[in-house]
Structure 1
Amino acid sequence: MRFSFRCLDPATDAALLHSWVTRPYATFWGMLSATVEDVAREYAKIQSSGHHHALLGLDGGTSAFLMEEYQPAYSPLAAVYPVLPGDVGMHLLVAPPSEGPEPGYTAAVMDAVLGRLFSVPGVERIVVEPDARNTKIHALNERLGFQPAGVVTLPDKEALLSFCCRSDYLAARTTLPARTTLPAMPSRPLIPQGASL
């Protein structure tokens, strides 16, 4: 599996994203009843925010996952934990498999995403806040080095706040099967922590 990243285009990628986020497996993404126009509007808002950015992950040139990176200081997380310099938030949605599940695929995707994020200078810790009921993602997060910090109340959900520092990620990835991902390279630098908008 070889992964690369490209900036998401809200207009041209909306139909593809819609075909992912409206399936039952993506229930925790919160867009099951969204229209293509709703998806385009939401991602246009994200891409123009200055503190939240969406990327498509490619597997051999084929769109395979959606990744969002954001600055927690400009998100609802700022009200529930003390944001530190070097913190970056992340969301991940893997596309539905076209030929049936492939063992280890989602872990390999998560590894590529974390590798990309930690390759950005100044990133010290990745923050995630999946729905507290989403036990599948909690298990994957822990497998890749995330440490749960407890359930927090956010405007749209009860979330399990978890953190992954570089050393925990590097230790966790030694337990993953060998993979052939491309080196993680940032396609666009994140907004520095504390930058004014």
Structure 2
Amino acid sequence: MTPPPIFEHKDARLGTFALRALDPAADAALLHGWVTHPKASYWMMQEADEAEVTAEYRRIHEHPHHEAFIGLHEGRPAFLAERYDPSRVELAGLYPARPGDVGMHFLCAPADTPVHGFTLAVINAVMEFCFSDPHVRRVVVEPDVRNDAVHALNAAVGFEIVEQIAKPEKDAYLSICTRERFEAARTALAADASRTARTERINRDARTERTERTEPTARTEPTARTEQTARTDRDAQGVTR
């Protein structure tokens, strides 16, 4: 039986995102297809077979400080998310941990037809999930230094790069997002989306009002934030690995 959702997030444009507990056995085939896809290279499981994927997520399932979830979009599996204690997992001894820190990873499922803004909506949902715990004050991540698309995406939701750190498997940018920075970034993104929707509506109305006189139609002027996040939609997959 599929576990029920434990968290839901409504995106004004793309609909409902949710998270449910991951079942290492039942979800193994699904996960294997995601983590071994060419676009998931930063997830670092490209060569894993299904048994190895099952074993890895069983280990996470049984870990007292690490959890994994299947993310849903409109009820269908669409992304993978992990939540962990960075003072004990991934970053133990590598940064000055504080009470209220939580770490996260997420991976969007491969898609034949990318949806504009989807990856940004997913990271927003995962961040909302992390901050839904009132004890969480900061989200801490450690993406590969080479993953430029992910750094832009992280910046769009409020992350700041603190320093470069050396992990056994990669060089990473230790990046931190406070609750306050996430709230400010979310407000700015909502304002950008509202302006874009309004301009698109003006353009649409102008096109339908066909007259002999040519009237200039409004044109969306992308903000630096929307330009930055748009570049991530094509290739941002394993965001924090």
**Shorter-normalised TM-score: what interval?**
0.7 to 0.9
Find 1:108's aligned residue among 103, 121, 126: 121
- For structure 2, the residue ranges without an aligned partner over 5 or more in a row are 1-14, 195-241
Q: Which residue does the alignment assign to 2:188?
A: 175
Determine helix, strand or coil for the equivalent of 1:77: coil
CA–CA distance in 2 between the matches of 1:165 and 1:89?
12
1:121 to partner: Cα distance: 2.1
8 Å contact from structure 1 (residues 54, 68) kept in 2: yes
Match of 2:131 in 1: 118
- Cα deviation, residue 76, structure 1: 3.9
TM-score normalised over the length of structure 1: 0.87
Pick aligned residue for 2:173 from 127, 138, 160: 160
Match of 1:143 among 152, 156, 171: 156
Q: What is the TM-score of this pair, normalised by structure 2?
A: 0.72
* Offset at residue 79 of structure 1 (A): 1.5
How many Å apart are 1:73 and its aligned residue? 1.3
Identical amino acids, percent of aligned pairs: 49
Larger CA deviation: 51-60 vs 168-177:
168-177
Structure number with greater CO (CA < 8 Å, separation at least 6) is 1
After TM superposition, the runs of 4+ consecutive aligned structure 1 residues lying more than 4 A away are none
What CA distance in whole angstroms lies between the structure 2 residues aligned with 1:103 and 1:170?
Answer: 22
How many pairs are equivalent? Answer: 177
Partners of 1:12 and 1:50 in 2: CA distance: 21
Q: Which one has a bigger Cα radius of gyration?
A: 2
How far apart, CA to CA, are the structure 2 residues paired with 1:47 and 1:75? 13
CA contact under 8 A between 1:87 and 1:126: conserved in structure 2?
Answer: yes
Q: Any stretches of 5+ residues in structure 1 without a counterpart?
A: 179-197
Q: Which residue of 2 aligns with 1:45?
A: 59
- Distance, in Å, in 1 between the alignment partners of 2:55 and 2:128 is 29
Please say if residues 22 and 32 of structure 1, whose CA atoms lie closer than 8 Å, have aligned partners that are also in contact: yes
- Give, in whole Å, the separation in 1 of the partners of 2:67 and 2:163: 26
